Amino acid sequence: MNIDTLHEQRLSLLRTSGNKITDARKTILNVLEGLKGHPTSAQIVEAVRQHDQRIGRASVFRTLDLFCQLGILRPIYHEGGGARYVLMPDGHHHHVVCLNCHCTIEFEDCALDGLAHELETRLKVQLLGHLLEFYGYCEQCSLLPNK
Ligand SMILES: [Zn+2]
Ligand SMILES: [Zn+2]
Ligand SMILES: [Zn+2]
């Protein structure tokens, strides 16, 4: 799915959930979509400030909370410290996290659609996405013998 479509989908999720699409929210969404990796809230606040000085820290935090509630964004907690945020492209995001050096490897492969559908039927829930995290040791940190 292309970026524009995802952007439109996120805006329409805001609209259908009864939230106003304010200029500030639009700007914050644009900034998030432009940021790479897993930014901290401080990095997001800084990036938003560069786009629009009028959007304050509190308003960025409220918007991040709102986006998390809507499943547009998820917080992750790596390497101690505060939350980092990941956008959910196409409703899923996958990581392998190394417990030793804390590197994060992204992968796209997903075999969970079937499970999601099965859960929706069995648990009568409506699923918007998933954040899948495998943890262990990366190639450099591997504790396996004979390496
Ligand atoms: Zn490692
Ligand atoms: Zn990621
Ligand atoms: Zn997936």
The CATH H-level superfamily of 90-147 is Ferric-uptake regulator, C-terminal dimerisarion domain (3.30.1490.190)
Write the pLDDT tens digit of every residue in 125-136.
988 889 999 999
Cite the DSSP H helix spans in 36-87. 41-51, 57-69
* 145 confidence band (pLDDT: 50, 70, 90): low
Q: Ligand 3 being an ion, which residues bring their Cβ within 5 A of it?
A: 92, 110, 112
The ligand minimizing its distance to the Cα of 138 is 1
- Domain definitions of the chain by residue range: 1-87, 90-147
Write the pLDDT tens digit of every residue in 11-20.
998 999 999 9
* Torsion angle, alpha carbons of 85, 91, 93, 94, to 10: 150
Taking a C-beta distance cutoff of 8 angstroms, is the pair 10, 72 a contact?
A: yes
C-alpha to C-alpha distances, 19 to 26, 79, 87, nearest whole angstrom = 12, 33, 19
Residue 85: predicted pLDDT: 93
Fold of 1-87: Arc Repressor Mutant, subunit A (1.10.10)
The CB-based long-range contact list for 77-81 (8 Å cut-off, 24+ gap) reads 78/38, 78/102, 78/104, 81/40
Write the pLDDT tens digit of every residue in 58-109.
999 999 999 999 989 999 887 667 889 998 767 789 999 998 998 889 998 8
Residue 129: predicted pLDDT: 85
Distance 86 CA to ligand 2 centre (A): 6
